[in-house]
Amino acid sequence: MNRLFSIPLAGLGLALAGVAGAEEALKPAADVVAAVAPTVDKGDTAWMLISTALVALMVIPGLALFYGGLVRSKNMLSVLMQVFMIFSLMMVLWFVYGYSIAFTEGNAFFGGFSKLFLNGVTVDSVAATFSKGVYIPEFAYIIFQATFAAITPALIVGAFAERMKFSAVMLFMIIWFTLAYLPMAHMVWYWAGPDAYTDAAAAEAAAATAGFLFQKGALDFAGGTVVHINAAMAGLVGAYLVGKRIGYGREHLPPHSLTLTMVGASLLWIGWFGFNAGSNLEANGLTALAFLNTMVATGAATLSWTTAESLLKGKPSLLGAASGAVAGLVAVTPAAGWVGPTGALVIGLVAGLLCLWGVNGLKRLLGADDALDVFGIHGVGGIVGALLTGVFANPELGGVGVYDYVANAVAPFDTVAQVTSQAWGVGVAIVWSGLVALIAFKLVDIVVGLRVPEDEEREGLDITAHGESAYRY
């Protein structure tokens, strides 16, 4: 474990300078005198609102079209409906209790209930950024984080697409969001904010209130653990428990529209700049670095995936290019504000190759019908990105390092210690999400049942679940 201050602290994360939004809103206190007068910059605020809109674009229509194009035409609307309704549901749950549980002080795993229904939040409330004395409106932070809370459950549906009851999907999402997403967000991203780190004693006291993985020093700039590994494990468990699609392994089950999949992937790529660069919470040089890294890693992963595919199968495919791009986006997410462009390049190249293996070799080994390769891309990509963040965050390798808010300087970097911290994040995300998903699926199966009847699956969920058809021939 690295030492960030003059005394040993609980973990490397105590001095985070660029993690994707994990601070509690600043609470006024008469006995606290800030070294720098708090300011709310209009440019930062505008950038956060733009970033929020970009992340929403990733979900509807981006993810919806990406997934929709990958299923058969008889299930197109069912996927669109699931993503659309999950997005809507999470907006409401985030307002009612999600934000409070994720981003208020409680214990190391679960926040409190002081801000249920956004109690006490006004237009004058502010949330900390990663610079002392610099804040954004708390409402801007709340809605930005709401889009993260919405896209994460939506990612899961790709694993069991084309065969799960709509009611079961929605009920599962409520349980999993409450018991998996919110605790992971709290564990990784909750801390007291930079102004709490005035000296070693104050830093130690603040550290004790942070989330479990924050205390362990896990770095996750924009959601490698919280979003991608978290969702991927839930999807994998769901693929096992819901079962394989009728004809899987015996019949060809091709995507019905790679055109729409490409459109969806392109919207994901553009929206991801809000996802990654927005996670810096400010509009400054580090924001630009995260933006650049997102572009570089995504391009590299697209090239490595399609090149390897060409060598293995003789032809490059549009599906491979789109999948490679998403793999790069996933892998750079935890690293975006921690590594330099060269680190992002390496992460992208590695992610493209390993995610290609994830949707082919690993998928065969696992034996699950992960219909849209949620684990192969988001699970493998998230793990690759999380672990390599611990390597390439090193300033000696072009990274930005970890900021020491007591010394007001970059702290000494220990690669082994940091990779160990990253492994903690990966391991906890896998185990926590997997267990919650297992329990949630079992409960849903008891209450409403998981899978549609065989005749409905053969006819397609568009008609049987929603009474509509995507296309008129």
Q: In this structure, what are the phi and psi dihedrals at residue 95, rounded to the nearest 5 degrees?
A: -65, -40
| pLDDT value for 265 | 98
Query: Facing residues of 409 across strands?
Result: 404
Nearest C-alpha neighbor of 140 from the set 56, 50, 57: 50
| pLDDT value for 39 | 80
pTM, two decimal places: 0.92
Nearest C-alpha neighbor of 385 from the set 351, 352, 357: 351
| Token duo for residue 41 | 């910059």
CB atoms within 10 A of CB 50: 15
- Measure the CA–CA gap between 178 and 183, rounded to whole angstroms: 8
DSSP letter at 393 equals T
Q: In this structure, what are the phi and psi dihedrals at residue 446, rounded to the nearest 5 degrees?
A: -70, -40
Determine the straight-line distance between the first and last CA of the chain, rounded to whole angstroms: 62
- Measure the CA–CA gap between 342 and 305, rounded to whole angstroms: 18
Which helix H or strand E contains 223, and what residues bound it? Answer: none
| pLDDT value for 338 | 98
CB atoms within 10 A of CB 336: 35
* Predicted confidence pLDDT, tens digits, the chain (473 residues): 332 322 223 333 333 433 434 344 444 444 444 445 678 999 999 999 999 999 999 999 999 999 999 999 999 999 999 999 999 999 999 999 999 999 999 999 999 999 999 999 999 999 999 999 999 999 999 999 999 999 999 999 999 999 999 999 999 999 999 999 999 999 999 999 999 999 999 999 999 999 999 999 999 999 999 999 999 999 999 999 999 999 999 999 999 999 999 999 999 999 999 999 999 999 999 999 999 999 999 999 999 999 999 999 999 999 999 999 999 999 999 999 999 999 999 999 999 999 999 999 999 999 999 999 999 999 999 999 999 999 999 999 999 999 999 999 999 999 999 999 999 999 999 999 999 999 999 999 999 999 999 999 999 999 999 999 999 87
- Measure the CA–CA gap between 405 and 35, rounded to whole angstroms: 12
- In terms of C-beta distances under 8 Å and separation of at least 24 residues, what long-range contacts does 452-456 make, across chains too? 452/163, 452/164, 452/165, 454/246
Classify domain 12-461 at the CATH class level: mainly alpha
Phi-psi region of 37 (alpha: psi -120 to 50; beta: other; left: phi over 0): beta
